[in-house]
Amino acid sequence: MNDTNIYSLEYAKTLDKQDELHAYRDEFYTKEGVIYFDGNSLGLLSKRAEKSVKMVMNAWKDNAIEAWTQTDNPWYYLSESLGEKMAPLVGANAKEVVVTGSTTVNLHQLVATFYKPQESRTKILADELNFPSDIYALKSQLQLKGYSANDHLIQVKSRDGHTINEEDIIAAMTDEIAIIVLPSVLYRSGQILDMERLTDAAHKHGIIIGFDLCHSIGAIPHKLDEWGVDFAFWCNYKHLNAGPGSLGGLYVNEKHFGENPGLAGWFSSDKEKQFDMKHELIPATDAGAFQIGTPHVLSAAPLIGSLEMFREAGIERIRTKSLKLTDYLLNLISKELQGYGFVVGTPLSEEQRGAHVFIEHEEAARICKALKADGVIPDFRAPNGIRLAPVALYNSFEEIFITITKLKKIMDDKRYKNYSNNRGVVA
């Protein structure tokens, strides 16, 4: 190994032979001649997820309404049972996690519950690099309470356009802040925020704090209970490979159990009381209280199979491989793409780096189109960003080597000039 040039295909193949998780690649539907590096937008379909969808469809076909209680995975309890299986991925106990809603619906629910402006504490603290949907929801919640988003939504500025300095976040935790909502991993640069440090600082100021885990769940370990995080929410279609439009998830620290849901609905009910059909809500005594409507069973089904793989593989091993993949990718970018105008926006330190690499180039949209034409699927982020997400369960080191080789050839041949420099409808 020491005699092998680390910038060679042979080295990449050696890394793949040493990979403890390599066998999981065969669990996914990959395409011959296509390298898929967009798993942080939509994870690939696994054979186990496909099987679990068929299982739920068969339960519907064979049992009809009885499937709510009479199948291997009773629909009535599915949100809670999937939450129990997902809890180890976020460092929570089983009753603190429920699979429900979508990212934005769950954020609305949690802010509607925990944002309680009073006296001088009326403002919401966020950051300027967060995903737009979170900001839309926060502005909407402010408006529903009668506050101007211009005055009451505080967004911490980035010093470099890629990352958020945690000192700046802490400095913004004033006596005017009622609640804080931040990403665990920034969706563009892949920066990991220190959730433990920020939670501790927020609580010292008497502020409730929650995190959007969309770009971290299934990719990095969490210890939400140990860190004392108040709430969290996420989607499951990225690293957890639960399919387009799959149900999201949320976490509520057990210290908040008994809090009435801000947006109540039938499935907020205590399961034993729900079919009493009373007009007075008796909420569940756990995270189940923060459900709203009937669970979308078909959209939850892929998680049954997907979570089996995460239990087997273990989030620590997934994180270890993920870091090796992005380390290798960054090394190749530094060596092979010098002088081509690329700027790396992802933190280089492993403690601050999520599961993808973000590079900028003034011709980014064109370059992404050229890569796709050459069999590599990246992700474009306007105005000039390219995200490459090698996923631990199904991507290989060889694919990273081939991708950078292809990218260098595209730049040398200027093939990107064959394409327009603007994004598609779905970037």
Torsion from C-alpha of 360, 366, 372, 373, nearest 10 degrees = -150
- Specify whether 299 is located in the same domain as 321: no
- Specify whether 227 is located in the same domain as 91: yes
**14 among the known binding-site residues?**
no
Out of 297, 312, 327, a domain closes at 312
- Tens-place pLDDT, residues 310-340: 999 999 999 999 999 999 999 999 999 999 9
Residue 1 has a pLDDT of 42
157 occurs within a structural domain: yes
pLDDT greater than 90 at residue 426: no
- Specify whether 300 is located in the same domain as 328: no
- Specify whether 20 is located in the same domain as 115: no
What is the domain count for the chain? 2
Residue 367 has a pLDDT of 98
- Specify whether 260 is located in the same domain as 354: no
Residue 421 has a pLDDT of 85
- Specify whether 267 is located in the same domain as 318: no
427 occurs within a structural domain: no
- Specify whether 215 is located in the same domain as 302: yes
4 occurs within a structural domain: no
- Specify whether 303 is located in the same domain as 342: no
Out of 312, 342, 359, a domain closes at 312
Residue 82 sits at φ, ψ, to 5 deg, of -70, -35
- Tens-place pLDDT, residues 397-418: 999 999 999 999 999 999 999 9
- Specify whether 303 is located in the same domain as 170: yes
**30 among the known binding-site residues?**
no
| Contacts with 225 (C-beta within 8 Å, 6 or more apart), sequence order | 91, 92, 93, 96, 253, 254
45 occurs within a structural domain: no
pLDDT greater than 60 at residue 26: yes
CATH number at residue 379: 3.90.1150.10
Domain span including residue 20: 9-30+314-418
Average pLDDT, the chain: 97
392 occurs within a structural domain: yes
As beta bridge partners, residue 343 has 360
**215 among the known binding-site residues?**
yes
42 occurs within a structural domain: no
333 occurs within a structural domain: yes
**320 among the known binding-site residues?**
no
- Specify whether 255 is located in the same domain as 139: yes
pLDDT greater than 90 at residue 289: yes
354 occurs within a structural domain: yes
**256 among the known binding-site residues?**
no
- Tens-place pLDDT, residues 114-168: 999 999 999 999 999 999 999 999 999 999 999 999 999 999 999 999 999 999 9
**294 among the known binding-site residues?**
yes
* Percent residues over pLDDT 90 in the chain: 97
* Average pLDDT of the residues in 174-200: 98
* Percent residues over pLDDT 70 in the chain: 99
- Specify whether 254 is located in the same domain as 338: no
**212 among the known binding-site residues?**
yes
Out of 291, 312, 333, a domain closes at 312
Residue 3 has a pLDDT of 53
**413 among the known binding-site residues?**
no
**131 among the known binding-site residues?**
yes
- Specify whether 318 is located in the same domain as 371: yes
CATH number at residue 191: 3.40.640.10
- Tens-place pLDDT, residues 204-257: 999 999 999 999 999 999 999 999 999 999 999 999 999 999 999 999 999 999
Q: Give the residue among 121, 120, 149 at the shortest CA–CA distance from 135.
A: 149
**134 among the known binding-site residues?**
yes
